[in-house]
Structure formats: C-alpha cells, structure tokens
A and B are shown apart, each in its own frame.
Chain A
Amino acid sequence: MQSDSDLDLVTSARAGDVASYGRFVQRHQQRVYRLALHLVKQRADAEDVTQETFVRAWSALDRFDGRSEPFTWVYRIAVNLSLNVLRARRARPQAPIDDDARVEAVLAEYRRSPGDPLVNSENRERVSSLLRAMETLSETLRTTLVLVTVDGMSHGEAASVLGCPEGTVAWRVHEARRKLRAALSDMNAISEVEP
C-alpha cells in the first residue's frame, strides 16, 4: 500500500478511509510545511498552516475532481492559508530578518557537513540578502518564485496551484529574478561603501 499513488490515497480518503489520508499527509506534510515557512516566515505559523491545510483539504475532498494532481490541489489551499496569515499579520510589526527561521533552516542543511566557517558565514549572508530582497517583491511574484525556485515545481504545476497560465508563471519568475538582481545589486553597492 506504501506505493499507492496520491490519487489512490485521495480516492480512498474520499470514501472515508482515514488511514489512506494519513499516508497522504505523511507524504506531503514536510513539503507543505516548507512552503508555508517560506511564505509566513515563522515556524509556529507554518505549523498551524500545515495542519489547517490538511484538515481543510479533508473537509473539501468531495470537491477534488481529479483534474489536477492532489498535491497541487493541497498546495493551493496552503498558499491561500499562508496568504491569509500574512494579511492578518500585516498590521503587526514584522520580525527582524535576522530572526528569520528560513535562514537557520537553510543553513542547517550545510551544518550537517561541517565545512569552512568562512564559507558558512558567506552562505548566511547570501541567504539573508536573498530573503531580504525577496521581501521587496510583491506577494504574487514572491509566491510564484518560491513555488518554482525554492520548491522546484515545474511551471505547469505552479500554474495549477496558482490558477494561472504557464506563460504567466514564466513571466513572473523572470520578473521576480530581474527585480531580485536589481535589489541584490543595490545591497551590494551599499555594502561596498560601508566601512
């Protein structure tokens, strides 16, 4: 049963099989958490979004019509919930970027293989700069970029999640990277004149 496809699991879950849905959750919860963390930036909120995503998806299983991949369908719910969290948080002050959970999460992967401390330091700065630059992007561009660049989705899959044409995804990724280059260039120019 471990080799069941997502569609098999979701079909069984629609018929009330909680165990199948449990396997589906197990298969995708880390990916959904990663996406949520990149969008909402805080671990606690990302965990809440992840749990809520699968609970809401279970409630809405009857509306899954099989025309898309189950995980892209779940991703859409996760993106919507993450954006809801961001919009609700908008009035509150933002956490400083140095406390961004994403930086530590990315660098944790590198610490597993101990390397040059200087390289680790450069990596931290590089990731921090990129994440700071990503904050300058619009919600639309940032979310699209996270799906394609960070999560590794194809344009078709991202289009399915976002409900837009593939061409639009391609344009957004290009535009986001163009703006990121400009933002990183500005940051570099500032750091070069600083003592």
Chain B
Amino acid sequence: MSDRVSRPDRLERAEQLLSVWSEASSDELRWVAMHESILRRIGEAPRIGAEELLTPPLPRQPEEPETSESTAGLHQSGERSTFVGRWPAETTRSAPKTEYQEPQERRWTLPKHGRRLGALAAVASLAAVAAAIALLYVRTPLEPGSVSEVRVQAPRESAPNIVPAVASVLPRDSVPSSPVEAKRAINSPTRVSRTARTTARAAVAKSTAKKVNAPSAPDAESSLERQDPTMTPASGPSNLPDHPTTGAVQAAVSGPMARARLCATGLAGPISVSLTFAASGRVQDVQVGPPARDTPAESCIASALVSARTEPFARGTYEVPLTLIPAESPANH
C-alpha cells in the first residue's frame, strides 16, 4: 500500500475501486449463453419450492444493538447510503427490536401516520379470514359436488412442502417427516383429526398436481377428492344460513382482493369482477371483466380470488359482484 495515502483515505479509495465495478465484466456472448441457459432450465425444471431461500439469510451479530437510536449517528462521510436524512423520526422511535422481522416496506405501504391504521386493518382482516376458515373446517362438512368446479391456478409448491402443511395441523408426535408419511397420515383416521386430514389432503393435492405439470392442478385436486371416500360430505345440516353474510364475504375476499389488485397494476380504471361461491363456501367461478379480460392479468386475478373462502351456506351458489381498483404502478428503479 502506498505511504502517500493516509489510513482513512486508503479504505475509501479501495472501496471506490470496488464500486467502480458497476457491472460484472464479461463478454456479451457469455451473458447471452447464461440467459439462454436460465430460460431453458425454467422450461425443464420441476416446480421446486424455495421457502428456505426466501427467509432472511444471515444470523444476527452478537454485538448488534437492540435499538436503532444507537445507530442514528453512525453515518460516515463518503458513505454511499442515503440513510441519514431519509429516516423519519417516527421510524427512529419505533425502531425494530430484533433482526428477523419482515422488511419495513417503503413503496407499498400507506403514507406515514396511515401505516398503523393499515396494519390494524390488516390484522383485523386476517383475524376475520382465519375465523371464516375455522368455521368452514370445524363446523360444517363440505357440500357435495362443489369442489370439482373450482378453478385453481397451477400451484408451484414442492412435494416436501406437504410436510410443513401437515405439520401445522397434526399433533406434535405425529408430524410426518416425508410426503409419503404425510399421505399415510391422511389415511389414518385414528391419529389425525378431520381438519388435519383436510389440510394435509390439500397439500398432497398441490404436490400431486405439480408432478403432472401446471394445467392439471385442478384435476389433481378434484380427482384426489373423488378417490377418497372420506372427502364425501355428509348430508347438509339444517342450521346453515341461506347465504353468507356481507361481513363474511368481505372478510373472505379482503386478502385475495389485495393480491388481485397487484395483478391489475398498471391497468386503467376499475375492473368488474364476479365471484361465485359454491355452497361449501369455496369459490366456484370467477368472471373478470374489462379492462383485465383477455390480458395476462385475468388469470392472475382469477387465481388470487379463487382462494377466497367463506362460511358454508344452504343456497346452491351465491354470486358476489366486486369492483377491483388496480394498484398504482410503482416507479421504476
């Protein structure tokens, strides 16, 4: 290292050298080859889950501060970050205590003081959806014939994902360690509750659908249910409501609608959507109107909304007209 350069300058000059490497240097042909290889592998690759790759990657440093107050003055001159001056005072006060929490979102959240209200609304929506799902699975059996008509977008989860799905509903000592065990658990009436079997069966259905490739997902799910006599619902109880309440429908669609809005990002104007629930409370049909009709967003919206679930009801079907406001398109970075 040159003696002409003082110690602090040395680090900064070395960092500058690294930062000049704005793009990895290589010849164009190599990038093209890599690009083609990726696209070829996409066509050939099985639908493998990537849950472990979506988790926060790094462990916490032992000496890492608990609060952000102690880090507020750490900005060094010459550092390229835009951290200082952009961090709102509110964020500083409510700095997270631990490392492993979901990233603080900047572009998709409500502005400043609206964030807390938004978070409360999201928690309330989740609770309502959870309650509706609990009602669906705990109180009432499925209606006959309703499941086979559900249009499901091709799932992209891996077979090993069955295990966590089953594990979440099984007793601790009966958590299966493999997809095979998961299937065995489903067929074991003595060890697994009906709710557990239902959830595990859905996970197995997704996995089975993936093995036979994307378009066959609904067939896989419905055929599995047809084969399994335990999925045949009992005769309908007499205490079902005629149709789901408005509140139940709102709770059922609030989450899926938020996802559907993202699908419609960039489209102009409100989109008319018609959702038809089967008596089981599952979505039987989704009709997407213009301007999303016949666009890539149509299937995306349909696949988001098909996950809506409400409480079972007595009437054959129940149609709900909805208006979808597309999410605002974020600025390109």
Taking Cβ atoms with an 8 Å cutoff, the residues of A that contact B are 3, 5-8, 11-12, 14-18, 21-22, 25-26, 29-31, 33-34, 37, 47, 50-51, 54-63, 65-69, 71, 73, 76-77, 79-81, 83, 105-106, 108-110, 122-123, 125-127, 129-130, 138-141, 143-144, 148-150, 152, 154-156, 159-175, 177, 180-181, 184-185, 187-188, 191-192
Chain B 43-79 interface residues, beta-carbon cutoff 8 Å to A:
43, 45, 47-61, 63-65, 67-68, 70-72, 74-76, 79
Q: Which 8 A-B pairs have the closest CB atoms?
A: A163-B56, A167-B68, A130-B14, A174-B74, A60-B50, A15-B296, A34-B24, A66-B262
Which of B1-9, B268-276, B277-285 lies at the binding interface?
B1-9
Are the CB atoms of A148 and B333 closer together than 8 Å?
no
**Which interface residue of A25, A106, A163 has the most chain B CB atoms within 10 A?**
A163
Set B48, B67, B80, B262: member contacting A148, Cβ < 8 A: B80
Set A6, A51, A170: member contacting B34, Cβ < 8 A: A51
Set B1, B24, B57, B65: member contacting A188, Cβ < 8 A: B1
Q: Does B103 contact A (CB under 8 A)?
A: yes
Chain B 244-287 interface residues, beta-carbon cutoff 8 Å to A:
259, 262-263, 265-266
**A51 CA / B39 CA spacing, docked (Å):** 9
Are the CB atoms of A15 and B297 closer together than 8 Å?
yes
Q: Does B156 contact A (CB under 8 A)?
A: yes
**A13 CA / B102 CA spacing, docked (Å):** 24
Q: How far is the CB of B11 from chain A (nearest CB, A)?
A: 5
Set B64, B86, B329: member contacting A7, Cβ < 8 A: B329
B149 surroundings in chain A (CB, below 8 A): none
Pair count A-B, CB < 8 A: 295
Chain B 65-104 interface residues, beta-carbon cutoff 8 Å to A:
65, 67-68, 70-72, 74-76, 79-83, 86-87, 91-92, 95-96, 99-104
Are the CB atoms of A29 and B296 closer together than 8 Å?
no
Are the CB atoms of A126 and B13 closer together than 8 Å?
yes
Are the CB atoms of B38 and A5 closer together than 8 Å?
no
A76 surroundings in chain B (CB, below 8 A): 53-54, 56-57
Q: Does B25 contact A (CB under 8 A)?
A: yes
Contact with A along B102-125 (1 / 0, CB 8 A): 111111100000000000000000
Contact with A along B16-35 (1 / 0, CB 8 A): 01111111111000010011
Are the CB atoms of B1 and A149 closer together than 8 Å?
no
